[in-house]
Amino acid sequence: MSFKIESANLSHSENIWKWRNDPITLSVCRNANEVSWEDHDSWFNRSLENPDRYFYIGVSVTPDDETPIGVIRFDVSSSFPEQCEVSINIAPSARGKRFGCLLLNDGTQRFVGEICRPIRIFAEVKMDNLVSMRLFASAGYCPCDYDSKGFNRYFLDIP
């Protein structure tokens, strides 16, 4: 299986919107409401222009085809630039095929290569999202705390 990470661009917007509104994705989001196309389009355009947002697409590559399989985003905190939050979502058609591991590991490497400084990466995972809890643990993220809204926090320090 060949796989690559590329920077998100306008051509990825519709896929990301569809993946975000998938029922399984909605069940593990902080905001479980569907997002309208207009709201997504506005958010997506702002995201591409935001210098504190590192936005990547994972692509499965075969000799005949390149298929987007997921999105990973790193949001550097404007208040604490030594910290950022990671968010990942796998396309419904790509779930259960170990793309999450590839996307998280390769996406993190790409981000670290671009940011070129020590940083702590946080992930918030809904307590009943066992797949994501295993994913972050397998990638070396350490559990650090949980909140009253039902989310566990994981972190990874990049020296």
Predicted confidence at residue 124, as pLDDT, reads: 94
Supply the CATH number for residue 91's domain.
3.40.630.30
3 state SS of 111: helix
Asked if pLDDT for residue 79 goes beyond 90, the answer is yes
d(CA 59, CA 40): 21
Looking at the structure of the chain, the number of domains it has is: 1
* Domain range enclosing 10: 2-158
Q: What pLDDT score was predicted for residue 150?
A: 87
Strand 119-126 versus strand 151-158 pairing type? antiparallel
**Predicted local confidence at residue 134, as pLDDT:** 95
**What local confidence, expressed as pLDDT, does residue 157 receive?**
97
The residue assigned the tokens 């350490």 is 142
Each residue's pLDDT tens digit, 130-155: 999 999 999 999 999 887 788 999 99
| 24 CB-near residues (< 8 Å, 6+ apart) | 92, 95
Q: From residue 144, how far is each of 9, 81, 82 by CA, in Å?
A: 33, 19, 17
Answering whether pTM is above 0.85, one says yes
The mean pLDDT value for 64-92 works out to 96
For the packed helices 99-115 and 130-138, what is the interaxial angle rounded to 10 degrees? 50
**pLDDT given for residue 28 in this prediction:** 92
- Chain-centre distance of CA 92, in angstroms? 14
Per-residue pLDDT at 63? 82
CB 102 within 8 A of CB 3: yes
pLDDT of residue 149: 82
